[in-house]
């Protein structure tokens, strides 16, 4: 890939590589029909090494990640914008593959990529491909989902097993050999959320997809934002055996490992059974479980009942994992 300064090369890039996959953006901005209600907006940058991994790639991740961020506010996706930042020297075949994946993911979700942007920067100024996706969504009727709405007595639901995405990425990037057994959970969650809202309406208080920082960070953020405490049962959190084995070997706490295809929900106790049933009716939520409950305090504290019955404090990940043992 040559260096682009907005001239002939760029036009060819758009025409030959990107447009065949996506409805080529020919206007400066897209007009999107929007049928009333509340608009929900989200944007996210995607940087991942390697760009292709078991269970996904940077293209599908960029679509699902933003769709999921919209879903975490109780919104269905309406349209997506996509911006490429490409490094000079990138293999054009790879750009084809990523763009094809974006298109396939958008079809899966059922939303168009309506506009976008492409920039090429000099060698070394970026690492291959960076994607930024912006999503426009519409708040689902009856949804009132916010990180601040968790309340004592709420039940904590988790939609599926954790730890696959982060351990798959790490394994393939560092050649650790787990990649045959571990596949990223990268998938869109808007359908799952729609089912949950249909079943629970405003009783679905808070949603979060435990991406970077893992379930531990997601729960800590929810607890802090809602001004509550959260207690979970370690044994209730599903972890695929291969992920558990990898984390054990790598010295990682699976609660800190990133996910791209599950969500955690704080739901009013009275609606928990209904919402859980709705989750389990969908493939993304087939293994949904109650993992704990929301308590009054201490505010911001998340604890896990361990397998031996004591309670340990579940912490946010602070930077690098430095052992606390002396």
Partner 1 sequence: MNLRGVRVDVHGTVQGVGFRPYVYRLANLHGLRGDVRNVDGRVLIRAAGPAERITSFLHRLAIDAPPAAHVAGLSAVDVPAEDVPDGGFHIRGSATDGSGAAGSREMPADLATCPACLAELFDPADRRYRYPFINCTDCGPRATIVDDLPYDRERTTMARFGLCGDCAAEYRDPADRRFHAEPVACPRCGPQLWWRGPSTTAGGDALACAVAAIAHGGLVAVKGIGGYQLVCDAADDAAVARVRAVKHRPTKPLAVMVADLTAAATVAHVSPAGEAALTSTARPIVLLPRNGSGGFADGVCAGLPEVGLFLPYSPLHHLLLHALRRPLVVTSGNRSGEPIAVDDEVALTTLGPLVDGVLGHDRPIRSRYDDSVARVVAGRAVLIRRARGYAPAPLPLPVAAPEPILAVGAQLKHTTTVAVARQAVIGPHTGDLADEATHDAFTDTVDRLCRWRAVIPRVVAHDLHPGYLSTRYGMDRFAAPHRIAVQHHHAHVAAVAAEHGLSAPFLGVAYDGLGLGDDGTLWGGEILHASYTGYRRLARFARAPLPGGAAAVRRPARMALAYLYAAEDLGVPRPDPARAGDLPARLGAREAAIVRRMIDRGVNSPLASSCGRLFDAVAALLGLCDETTYEGEAAVRLEAAAGADSEVPALPWRVVRRDGLAVYDPAPTLRAIVERDRPAGWMAAAFHTTLAEVTCALVADAAERTGVRAVCLGGGVFVNRRLTTDLRDRLGRMRFDVYTGEQVPVGDGGISYGQAAIAAATLAEE
Integer-rounded Cα Rg, in Å, for the chain is: 20
- Residue 69 CB, shortest distance to Mg ion, in Å, is 4
> Which of 252, 151, 246, 250 has its CA nearest to residue 202?
151
- Residue 176 CB, shortest distance to Mg ion, in Å, is 26
Query: Which one of 1-9, 17-25, 44-52, 181-189 is the stretch in contact with Mg ion (CB under 5 A)?
Result: 44-52
- Euclidean distance between CA atoms 229 and 236, whole angstroms: 18
What string marks each residue from 163 to 202 as x (binds partner 1 by CB under 8 A) or -? -------x---xxxx-------------------------
Going by C-beta distance under 8 Å and a sequence separation of 6 or more, which residues neighbour residue 6?
Answer: none
Interface pick for partner 1 out of 235, 249, 286, 296 (rule CB under 8 A): 249
Residue 325 contacts which entry, Mg ion, Fe ion, partner 1, none (Cβ below 5-8 A, type-dependent): partner 1
- Residue 311 CB, shortest distance to partner 1, in Å, is 4
Residue nearest to Fe ion (CB): 326
3-state helix, strand, coil in the chain (%, to 5): 35, 25, 40
Q: Which is nearer to partner 1, 10 or 224 (CB)?
A: 224
Q: Which of residues 69-88 bind partner 1 (CB under 8 A)?
A: none
What angle, rounded to 10 degrees, do the helices at 190-200 and 58-71 form? Answer: 20
Residue 309 contacts which entry, partner 1, Mg ion, Fe ion, none (Cβ below 5-8 A, type-dependent): partner 1
Q: Which is nearer to partner 1, 7 or 251 (CB)?
A: 251
Interface pick for Mg ion out of 32, 44, 181, 245 (rule CB under 5 A): 44
- Residue 322 CB, shortest distance to Fe ion, in Å, is 13
Q: Which is nearer to partner 1, 72 or 172 (CB)?
A: 172
Other beta carbons less than 10 A from residue 214's beta carbon? 24
Q: Is 253 in the site for Mg ion (CB under 5 A)?
A: no
Q: Which tokens in the block code for residue 41?
A: 């907006």
Q: Is 325 in the site for partner 1 (CB under 8 A)?
A: yes
- Residue 309 CB, shortest distance to partner 1, in Å, is 7
> Which of 172, 183, 317, 182 has its CA nearest to residue 252?
317
- Euclidean distance between CA atoms 24 and 19, whole angstroms: 4
Q: Which tokens in the block code for residue 136?
A: 């426009």
Interface pick for partner 1 out of 248, 269, 286, 297 (rule CB under 8 A): 248
> Which of 117, 132, 119, 136 has its CA nearest to residue 25?
117
Q: Which of residues 287-326 bind Fe ion (CB under 5 A)?
A: 326
Q: Which of residues 265-324 bind partner 1 (CB under 8 A)?
A: 301, 303, 308-313, 315, 318-324
Query: Is 188 within 8 Å of 75 (Cβ atoms)?
Result: no
The count of chain residues that interact with partner 1, using the rule CB under 8 A, is: 28
Going by C-beta distance under 8 Å and a sequence separation of 6 or more, which residues neighbour residue 209?
Answer: 68, 69, 71, 72, 189, 218, 259, 260, 262, 263, 264
Residue 164 contacts which entry, Fe ion, partner 1, Mg ion, none (Cβ below 5-8 A, type-dependent): none
Query: Which one of 73-81, 92-100, 118-126, 250-258 is the stretch in contact with partner 1 (CB under 8 A)?
Result: 250-258
The DSSP-derived string for 68-120 is HHHHTTTEEEEEEEEEEEEETT--HHHHHHHHHHHHHHHHHHT--EEEEEEEE
Which residues contribute to the site for Fe ion (CB under 5 A)? Answer: 326
Which residues contribute to the site for partner 1 (CB under 8 A)? Answer: 170, 174-177, 248-252, 301, 303, 308-313, 315, 318-326
């Amino acid at each position: 890939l040559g260096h682009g300064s907005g001239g002939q090369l760029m036009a060819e890039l758009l025409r030959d590589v990107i447009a065949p996959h996506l409805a080529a953006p020919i206007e400066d901005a897209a007009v999107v029909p929007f049928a009333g209600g509340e608009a929900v907006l989200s944007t996210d940058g995607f940087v991942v090494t390697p760009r292709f991994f078991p269970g996904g790639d940077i293209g599908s991740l960029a679509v699902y990640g933003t769709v999921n961020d919209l879903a975490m506010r109780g919104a269905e996706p309406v349209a997506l914008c996509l911006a490429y930042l490409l490094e000079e020297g990138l293999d054009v075949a790879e750009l084809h593959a990523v763009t094809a994946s974006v298109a396939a993911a958008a079809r899966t979700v059922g939303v168009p990529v309506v506009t976008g942007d492409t920039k090429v920067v000099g060698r070394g100024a970026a690492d291959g491909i960076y994607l930024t996706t912006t999503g426009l969504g519409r708040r689902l009727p009856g949804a009132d989902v916010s990180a601040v709405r968790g309340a004592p007595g709420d039940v904590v639901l988790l939609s599926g097993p954790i730890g696959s995405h982060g351990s798959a990425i790490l394994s393939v990037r560092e050649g650790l050999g787990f990649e045959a057994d571990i596949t990223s959970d990268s998938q869109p969650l808007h359908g799952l959320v729609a089912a949950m809202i249909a079943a629970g309406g405003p009783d679905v208080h808070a949603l979060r997809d435990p991406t970077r920082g893992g379930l531990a960070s997601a729960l800590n953020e929810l607890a802090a934002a809602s001004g509550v405490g959260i207690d979970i049962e370690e044994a209730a959190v599903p972890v695929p055996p291969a992920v558990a084995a990898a984390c054990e070997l790598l010295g990682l706490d699976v609660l800190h490992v990133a996910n791209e295809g599950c969500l955690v929900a704080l739901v009013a106790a009275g609606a928990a059974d209904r919402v859980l049933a709705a989750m389990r009716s969908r493939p993304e939520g087939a293994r949904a479980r109650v993992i704990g409950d929301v308590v009054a305090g201490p505010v911001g504290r998340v604890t896990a009942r361990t397998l031996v019955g004591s309670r340990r404090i579940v912490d946010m990940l602070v930077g690098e994992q430095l052992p606390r043992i002396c």
